[in-house]
Structure 1
Amino acid sequence: MAQAVAELYALMPDAFTADRNKRAAEATKAGNKELGQAIRALLKPSAGAWLVNMLALHRPELISEVLELGAVLREAQDDMDQQQLRRLSGERQRLLRSAAREARSLAEELGRPVSAAVGAEVEQTLWAAMTDAAAAAAAASGQLVRTLEANGWDPVNVDGSVADPDSVKAPSASGGQRRKPAAKVRTGSGDSGNQSAKEKSAATAAAARARRAAQTLLTEAEREAEQAEEALRTAQAEVDAVANRRDELTDEIDDLRDRIRELEREVAATDRRAGTLERARDGARRTARAARRAVEKAQAKLEGLG
C-alpha cells in the first residue's frame, strides 16, 4: 500500500485517477480485494496539495529548510524568547514567500502552471507546517490530499489530509521542542520557609512574564493574520478580475469565430456566384464572336452582289 501511495502521489494530476483505478483493479484481480478497495478509495489531491507533494519530491531541501525553521520557531516560542521570535518571524516571512515562488516555478517546469490562488494555498500549508509538528510531518509526506491551514495558536487539523496516515511518521511527544532542565533542589540548614516564599514569588513573577510574552505573541499574530487576510482579499480580487477579463476575451473569441464562419460561408457563396457569372460571360463572348463573324460574312456577300 505504501509503495502504491508513494507512486500515485508522484504523478501529474491528470494521470492520477486512471492509474489509481488500474492499480485497484490489478490488486483485486490478484486476489487482494481489501488492498484494491483501499487503493480505489485514495483521493485525488487538490491543486495546492499536489504542488506541495511535488516540492517534497523535487525540492526536498526546501521543505527541510521550512520545517527546520518551524522547529526553531516553536522552540523560541516555548522559551518565550521575544528577541529570537522577532528575528525568526522576519526570516519566516521571507522563506515562505520564496518557497511559494519556487513552487509556482516548479509547476511551470512540470508543464502544469498554477494560479496565484494555488500559490497562496501552498504558502499557507507551509506556514501551517512551521507552526505544528503533525502538520510538518503531513507536508513532508509527499501524499497530501488537501492543503492545511493554521491560526498560529490552535493545533493544525491534519485529519484526512494525507492519503495513508499509517505510513506518515508521527511527531515526537515534545513536538521538536527542547526540554527544559529541571530546577535544582537546594539542601541545607537554611530557613525553608523563606526559601519557599522566594520560590513562590519567583514563580508568580515568571508566570506574569509568561502572560505578558503570550499577550505580545497574540498581538503580533493577530496583526500578521489581519495583514495576511488583507493580502488574501487583494489577491483574490485580482484573480477574480483576471478571470472575468479572460471570460470576456473568450466571449470575444467565440464571437469572432462565429463571424469568421459566417464570412467564410459568404466567400464560398461569392465564389460560386463568380463561377456562374464567369461561365455566362464566356458564353456571351463566344456568342458575340459568332455574331461578328456572321456580320462579316453578310457584308462580304453583299459586296459581292454589288
Structure 2
Amino acid sequence: MDVESVAAELFGLLPSEFTAARDEYVARARKAGDRELAAQIAALRKPTLAVWTAGLLARRRPKEAEGLLVLGEALRTAHRTLDAAQLRRLSHDQHVVIGRLARTARALAAEAGQTVSEPVLHEVEQILQAVLADADVAAQWKAGRLAKAPDAVRGFTGLEPLPGAAPPRRTQPRPAEPETERHQAPAPGARAGQARRKRLEAARTEAAEALAEAGRLEAGQATAKELADRAATAVAAAEKDVTAAAQRLETARAASTDANARYREAGRAAAKARTRAETAARKLEKLTGAEG
C-alpha cells in the first residue's frame, strides 16, 4: 500500500464515501506501524462535487481526456505564436468541446448515482477551462489527483509570446553612461519605441480576450439552441400527453354515461320484475283462499 494507489482509489469513490474510506486507510497504515504513510493519506482532501465530476472524464473516458489535453496544448501554442487564424478556430472549438465534455461528465456522475445540478455543471466547465489554460492543472487532472477547483481563468493572457512573435525586447544591458547623462530623459526614439510596445501588448491582450469572448458567446448560442430544442421536445411531449389524457377522459366520460344508463335501465327492469312478482303473489294467494 502506498499513497499513490490509495489516492487513486479514494478519488474514484463518490464524494460521500471519501472520508470514511480515507480514515480506514489511515487506521490500517497506523496499525502497520507506518506513521509517515498514515500522515500522507490523512492529508488527502475530499474533492468537491465539481472536481470529482470533472475527474470522471480522466478516469473513465481517457481518449476524450487526451483530446482535451491536446486541444489545450494547441491553444497555448497559438497564444504564444499569436496565430490569429488558429486562435479563432481553437477558441470556438474549446467552448464546444468543454460544453460537450461537461455534459458527458454529468452523465457519468448520474450513472454512478450522483446528481449534478446546473451550478455544479458550470463549475465543471470552469475546471475544464483551467485544464486547457494551465499545463500543471492539466497534469493533475489527467493523473486523477485534482483535489480542489483551480482558480478561475480568463483566456490565456498569462502566456509569454515565443521569440519572433512579438517585438524583441532589450536583453543586453545599456552601455555605461557618463555620470552627467544618467538622469537625462530618454531619447524621443526610445520613448516612441516604448509606447509602441505598450500599444502592441495592449492590442494583443485585447485581441486574445475578444477571441475568447467570441468563442464563449458562440458556445453560449449553441447551448441556448440545444436548450431551446430540448424545451420544444418537452412541450411536444407534454402536448401529446395532454391530448392522450383528454382522449382518455372522453372515453371515461362515455363509459360513465353508458354505465349510468345501464344502471337506470336495470333499475327500471328490476322494478317491473318486482311488480310482476307481487301481482303473481296476490293471484296465488286468491287462488289458494278460494280452494279453501
TM-score class, shorter = 0.5 to 0.7
Residue 88 of structure 1 is matched in structure 2 by 90
Distance 1:79 1:206, change over 3 A: farther
- The answer on 1:130 being equivalent to 2:121 is no
Residue 58 of structure 1 is matched in structure 2 by 60
Deviation digits for residues 257-302 of structure 1 (CA, Å, limit 9, x no counterpart): xxxxxxxxxxxxxxxxxxxxxxxxxxxxxxxxxxxxxxxxxxxxxx
Q: Name the count of aligned residue pairs.
A: 194
Q: Specify which of 109, 112, 123 is matched with residue 107 of structure 1.
A: 109
Residue 77 of structure 2 is matched in structure 1 by 75
Distance 1:226 1:92, change over 3 A: closer
- Once residues 110 and 213 of structure 1 are traced to their aligned partners in structure 2, the CA distance between those partners, rounded to angstroms, is 44
Residue 121 of structure 1 is matched in structure 2 by 123
Residue 296 of structure 1 is matched in structure 2 by none
Q: Specify which of 184, 203, 207 is matched with residue 212 of structure 1.
A: 203
**TM-score, normalized by length of structure 1?**
0.55
Q: Specify which of 150, 153, 158 is matched with residue 153 of structure 2.
A: 150
Report how far residue 41 of structure 1 moved.
2.3
Residue 249 of structure 2 is matched in structure 1 by none
Q: Report the secondary structure of 1:96's partner residue.
A: helix
- Once residues 86 and 7 of structure 2 are traced to their aligned partners in structure 1, the CA distance between those partners, rounded to angstroms, is 39
- Matched letter for residue 118 of structure 1: V
Report how far residue 66 of structure 1 moved.
1.1
Kept in 2, the 8 Å contact 1:107–1:113? The answer is yes
Distance 1:207 1:84, change over 3 A: farther
Kept in 1, the 8 Å contact 2:95–2:219? The answer is no
Kept in 2, the 8 Å contact 1:52–1:103? The answer is yes
Report how far residue 134 of structure 1 moved.
1.2
Which consecutive residues of structure 2, in runs of 5 or more, have no partner in the other structure? Answer: 169-191, 224-292
- Once residues 5 and 16 of structure 1 are traced to their aligned partners in structure 2, the CA distance between those partners, rounded to angstroms, is 10
**TM-score, normalized by length of structure 2?**
0.57
- Once residues 154 and 99 of structure 1 are traced to their aligned partners in structure 2, the CA distance between those partners, rounded to angstroms, is 24
- Once residues 85 and 116 of structure 2 are traced to their aligned partners in structure 1, the CA distance between those partners, rounded to angstroms, is 37
**Aligned ranges for residues 28-67 of structure 1 at < 5 Å?**
28-67=30-69
Distance 1:124 1:228, change over 3 A: farther
Q: Report the secondary structure of 2:209's partner residue.
A: helix
Q: Report the secondary structure of 2:28's partner residue.
A: helix
- Once residues 213 and 89 of structure 2 are traced to their aligned partners in structure 1, the CA distance between those partners, rounded to angstroms, is 18
Deviation digits for residues 28-58 of structure 1 (CA, Å, limit 9, x no counterpart): 1111112112212211111011112221110
Which consecutive residues of structure 1, in runs of 5 or more, have no partner in the other structure? Answer: 156-174, 184-200, 232-306
- Once residues 59 and 225 of structure 1 are traced to their aligned partners in structure 2, the CA distance between those partners, rounded to angstroms, is 24
Q: Percent identity at matched positions?
A: 35
Distance 1:216 1:179, change over 3 A: closer
- Once residues 92 and 154 of structure 1 are traced to their aligned partners in structure 2, the CA distance between those partners, rounded to angstroms, is 16
Distance 1:123 1:227, change over 3 A: same
Kept in 1, the 8 Å contact 2:79–2:161? The answer is no
- Once residues 129 and 100 of structure 1 are traced to their aligned partners in structure 2, the CA distance between those partners, rounded to angstroms, is 13
- Matched letter for residue 151 of structure 1: R
Q: Report the secondary structure of 2:79's partner residue.
A: helix
- Once residues 104 and 157 of structure 2 are traced to their aligned partners in structure 1, the CA distance between those partners, rounded to angstroms, is 28
**Aligned ranges for residues 219-234 of structure 1 at < 5 Å?**
219-221=210-212
Q: Which has the higher contact order (CA 8 A, sep 6+)?
A: 2
Distance 1:135 1:72, change over 3 A: same
**Aligned ranges for residues 253-268 of structure 1 at < 5 Å?**
none
